[in-house]
Amino acid sequence: MGKIRVEGLKKSFGSNEVLKGIDLQVQPGEVVCVIGPSGSGKSTLLRCMNRLEDITAGSVVVDDVDINAKDTDINKVRENIGMVFQHFNLFPHFNVLRNIAFAPTELGKLDEAAARQTALRLLERVGLSDKADAYPAQLSGGQKQRVAIARALAMNPDIMLFDEPTSALDPEMVGEVLGVMKSLASEGMTMMVVTHEMGFAREVADRVIFMDGGYIVEEGPPEELFGRPRQERTISFLEKVL
Amino acid sequence: MRTIRALGLAWLLLILTVTGAAGWTGTASASEPAAGKVYQIGTDVTFAPFEFQDASGKFVGIDMDLMEAIARDQGFRYEIKPLGFNAAVQALESGQVDGVIAGMSITDERKLKFDFSEPYFDSGVIMAVRENDSQTRTYEDLRGKKVAVKTGTEGYRYAESIAGEYGFTIVPFDDSAQMYDDVKGGNSVACFDDFPVIAYGIQQGNGLQLTDEEKVAGASYGFAVRKGQNAELLRMFNDGLANLKNSGEHARIQEAYLGEGAQQASGGGWNLITESLPYLLEGLGKTLLYTIVSLFFAFLLGLLFAFMKVGGSRFLRGVATVYVDVFRGIPLIVLAFFIYFGIPQAFGFTMPLFLAAILTLSLNAGAYVTEIIRGGIQSIDRGQMEAARSLGLPYGKAMRKIILPQAIRVMVPSFINQMVITLKDTSILSVIGLVELTQSGKIIIARTFESFTIWTTVMVLYLIVIIALTKLAERMERKVRHG
C-alpha cells in the first residue's frame, strides 16, 4: 500500500491561512513532485501528510486511515511514512549506525541484531558503508542527507516524504542525494517530494503539482506541466526558474 | 494525563521523604522514647552568659542551667531549640515552641502576647564602648554618632528612649556579637545591652569597656509561654524557680557565670580554629546535607514544571509560569520566614525546622531549575523532535532518548552554577535557626567574640567545598560532553 487522499485541506497559522483548500490523491508507487514559489504552502502541505502539522479543516487519509481522527494512533501511521528534512535532523548524539537502527529497535520492529543488519544494508545502498561508526558532525551535507534517507527507510515505510531534501546542500552534493531518491522511485516507493530541482521533477516524477498562494494551481505529468503549462502563474514561475 | 501522573508522583515522593525525615529527627532529638510531653523550648544562640555553646558544642549558660535544674526539680522533659532571639519569639507566637527562655525581658508589650513566669534575673541596661576609646565617657559624647543595639532588647528600648535627647542614631543588629563588632570596628561608637551580657563579654575579652554611665535599672527576665497556653509548664517553672531560690542553687548558677571564678573562653588564633573546627565541620555537613536534599527536590520540581512549560497544555503552562514567577520573585529570606513562621501561625500547626528549610530551598531552586531545564530543552532544534516523531516515536520516548540527552549537555553548566548558589543560599536559613555552617560560625563568635578568625575559617570552608564540587562537576561535564 502507500496511498494518500487529501480532501478540502485547510491550514492556518493564527490568522494566516497557508493552505486554502487542497484536494489531492497519491496512488501507491506514484512519485509526486510539488513545486512552487516559497511561501506557497508546499512544505506545510507535506507536513500535513504525517500530521507534523495539525490541520484546520478537511481530511488526510493515508491507506484508509483518517490521520487526524481522534482514535487514530498517529505513531503507528508515522511508522509507515518516512520523512526526509531539508536540514537532515540527524541525531547528533548517535553515530550513523545508531541513527538508522534506533527507531526500529526502540519501537520493537526489529531486534538489536536485525536492526544492525538492516542499517548496514541501507548504508550500503546509500553508498556510505564506511561511515557506520562516524558521528553526524563528521559527515558532509550530502552524506548526512543520505544517512537521513537510510534512517527513514529503516522503518520500512510504504510512503516517503521529502521536504526540500537538497536545498541545504552545496551544489556538488545534490547529485548524490538525488541519485538515491531516483533509485528509490524506480523501486516503486510512493514518494511525495517538495523540491526546487526541476530537472529531478521532470525526470523522475509521475506527476508534478504546482502550488501558489495556498492552492494547487496546476498539476499533470511533467512533460505536460513543464512543456505546456496552461495557467498564467505556472508559466511565469517556470520562466523564472528554468 | 502523563503530566498529571508525574505531578502526583512528585508530591508522593515529597510527602514520603518528609514523613521519613520527620521520623528520623524524632529519634535523633528526643532524649527518651516519648512517654510524656517533651516541651520545645526556644532560645537565643548568642546571648552569653544566658545561653551560648561551649567548645564542645553543648548549650550552656544561666538560662540553660536554670532550665535544667527546674526540669529536674519538677520532673518534666524538654528540648532546647536554639533559634536566635527574634526567631524564638516568633516561633513562640506561632506556636512552634512551647516556651522561650532567652534572657527575655518582661515588658507590658510582651505581656499582651505571652504569659511570663516570675522574674528569674534582674537585669539592667548599660552602655559600652571600644576598649581604647577614651573620648566616649557619657551619653553626651554620643551626639551625632551612631549607636549599635540589638533588636527586641531592653537596650534597644532604652537607647531609643534617649536617642532624641542625646542626638544619636540607632543601628540595629540581630545578635550581640555583631553589635560588639560594629563598635569595635568603629562604625558605632557605643552599644547598649543588658548588663550581665556586656559584663560577661568584657570579661571574655570582647574588646569593649564600660563608661562613666551607670547601669539603668531595667526589666527583669522571665520565662515565657504563649498567652493562655501551656499553663502547666508555666506553673512548673514557677514552682521549680521558687525551690531553687530557697535551696540557693539559683544563686549558685548565676555565680558560676558572672562571678570571679567564671571560666574564660579559649584564646584566639590556631587554638580557636582547631577547637572550633569539629563544630564547624558538623555545620558544614548540615550545609551539604540540606544542599543535596534540596537540590534533589528542586530537580524533581524543575523537571515537572519544565515539562509543563514546554508541553501543549495552556493551563499547565500557566501553572508552571506562575510557579517560576512566584518563587523566583520572592527573596529567599522572606520565603524562609513565611514558611517557618507565617504558615504555622495561620494554620495552627508546628512546622519542623528541617522541613521549612528544605521547602524553602527546594521551592526556590526548583524555580531556577525549571528555567534551566526548559531552556535546555528549547535550545534543542525543533527538527530533532520532528525527526523523532516522524519515525513513529511517541512524545515521551522522543523526549527521553533524543531531546533530553542533548539538552542535558546544554544544562550541565547551569546546574553546576545552581548547585553552588543553593549551597551558599543555605546560609540564609540561619535566620530561622538552622544550624548550618554560617550559624555554627555565629554561635562560636557569640561565645568567643573572635569574628575575624571564625569568619575567615567559615569562608575558607565554603570555598574549599565549592571549589571541590565545581571541579568534580566540571570533570563530569567533560565526560558527558565526550560521551
pLDDT tens for each residue of B134-156: 888 999 999 999 999 988 788 88
**Average pLDDT, integer, range A139-144:** 95
Q: Which of A89-98, A195-204, B390-399, B471-480 has the lowest mean pLDDT?
A: B471-480
- Contact check, Cβ <8 Å, A91/B397: no
pLDDT in tens, A24-58: 999 999 999 999 999 999 999 999 999 999 999 99
Q: Which CATH class is domain A4-239?
A: alpha beta
Residues near B170 by Cβ (< 8 Å), separated by ≥ 6? B146, B147, B149, B156, B159, B160, B163
Mutation pick from B381, B386, B390 vs chain A, by most beta carbons of A within 10 Å, is B390
pLDDT of A159 > 90? The answer is yes
Distance of CA A200 to the CA centre of its chain: 14
Query: Would you state the pLDDT for residue A69?
Result: 93
Spell out which residues of chain A touch residue B387, defining contact as CB-CB under 8 Å. Answer: 83, 85, 89-91, 148, 151
Confidence of residue B27 (pLDDT cuts 50, 70, 90): very low
The pLDDT value recorded for residue B483 is: 53
Would you state the pLDDT for residue B52? 84
B150 shares its domain with B210: yes
The answer to whether B207 touches B131, Cβ cutoff 8 Å, is yes
Per the domain annotation, does B72 fall within a domain?
yes
The answer to the question of residue B4 being in a domain is no
Among partner residues A85, A93, A155, which is closest to B392 by beta-carbon distance?
Answer: A155
Q: Which amino acid is at B375?
A: G
Nearest CA to A149 among A85, A77, A65, A231? Answer: A85
Residues B30, B430: Cα–Cα separation, whole Å:
22
DSSP-based three-state secondary structure for A228: coil
Report the candidate in B66, B101, B67, B110 with the shortest Cα–Cα distance to residue B83: B101
Same structural domain, B158 and B94: no
Tell me, yes or no, whether B357 and B478 share the same domain.
yes
Torsion of CA A232, A233, A236, A240, to 10 degrees: -160
Q: Does the interface ipTM go beyond 0.85?
A: yes
Domain of B183, in residue numbers: 122-219
**B78-130: per-residue pLDDT in tens?**
999 888 888 899 889 988 899 999 989 898 889 999 999 999 988 889 999 99
Q: How far is A235 from chain B (nearest CA, A)?
A: 34
In this prediction the pTM is: 0.74
User: CA end-to-end span of chain B, whole Å?
Assistant: 34
Residue B1, in any domain of the structure: no
Asked whether the predicted pLDDT for residue A93 surpasses 80, the reply is: yes
Does residue B40 register a pLDDT over 80? yes
Q: Are residues B290 and B204 in the same domain?
A: no
Determine contact, residues B186/B193, Cβ cutoff 8 Å: no
Q: Give the domain CATH number at B135.
A: 3.40.190.10
| Burial group, residue A84, by CB count within 10 angstroms (0-12, 13-18, 19+) | buried
B185 with B308, same domain: the answer is: no
**Count of structural domains, chain B:** 3
Distance from CA of B388 to the nearest CA of A (A): 8
- pLDDT average, residue stretch B388-393: 96
The mean pLDDT of B460-476, rounded to a whole number, is 91
Give the pLDDT band of residue A66 (cuts 50, 70, 90). very high
Classify each residue of B265-274 as buried b or exposed e, where b means 16 or more C-beta atoms within 10 Å of its C-beta. bbeeeeebbe
pLDDT recorded at residue B309: 94
* pLDDT grade for B29, boundaries at 50, 70 and 90: very low
> Are B52 and B142 in a shared domain?
no
* pLDDT > 90: percent of chain B: 52
Residue A122 and residue A153 in contact, taking contact as beta carbons nearer than 8 Å? yes
pLDDT band at B157 (very low <50, low <70, confident <90, very high): confident
Q: Which residues pair with A19 in a beta bridge?
A: A11
Domain with residue B352: its CATH number is 1.10.3720.10
pLDDT digits (tens, 9 = 90+) for B436-450: 999 889 888 877 778
- One-letter amino acid for residue B50 of the chain: F
pLDDT at B3: 47
Residue B31 covered by a domain: no
Inter-chain residue contact B392 with A103, CB threshold 8 Å: yes
Select the residue of A87, A92, A103 nearest B391 (Cβ to Cβ).
A103
B362 and B457 together in one domain: yes
| Residue B292 grid cell | 543535596
Of A83 and B81, which is predicted with more confidence?
A83
- Cβ–Cβ of A79/B392 closer than 8 Å? yes
Is the same domain home to B365 and B322? Answer: yes
Measured between CA atoms, how close is A79 to chain B, in angstroms?
A: 5
Neighbours of A183 (CB within 10 A): 12
**What's the helix, strand, coil split of chain A in %, to 5?**
40, 25, 35
User: Are B148 and B74 in the same domain?
Assistant: no
Looking at the fold, whether B324 and B366 belong to one and the same domain comes out as yes
Q: Distance (Å, rounded) from C-alpha B473 to C-alpha B483? A: 15
Give the mean model confidence (pLDDT) for residues B29-34: 38
Q: What is the DSSP letter of A12?
A: E
The half-sphere exposure of B55 on its side-chain side, counting CA atoms within 13 A, is 12
H-state helical runs in B172-230: 176-184, 195-203
pLDDT of B282 strictly over 80:
yes
Q: What is the pLDDT of residues B171-199, one digit of tens each?
A: 998 878 888 888 988 889 999 988 888 88
Check residue B350 and report its DSSP letter: P
Residues in chain B: 483
Helix axes A171-186, A141-153, angle to 10 degrees: 20
Closest by CA position to B402, among listed B2, B478, B394: B394
Among B residues 370-429, those touching chain A with beta carbons less than 8 Å apart: 381, 383-384, 386-394, 397, 401-402, 405-406
Find out whether A32 and A205 touch, Cβ atoms under 8 Å: yes
Instruction: Tell me the HSE value of B97 on the side-chain side, using a 13 A CA sphere.
Output: 32
For chain A, the average pLDDT equals 95
Is B391:B384 a contact under the CB 8 Å cutoff?
A: no
Give pLDDT, residue B215. Answer: 84
Instruction: Kindly identify which residue of chain A lies nearest to residue B405, measuring between CA atoms.
Output: A93
Does B21 map to a domain? no
Same domain, B254 and B330: no
B275 plus B170 within the same structural domain? no
Partner-chain contact B387 A81, CB within 8 Å: no
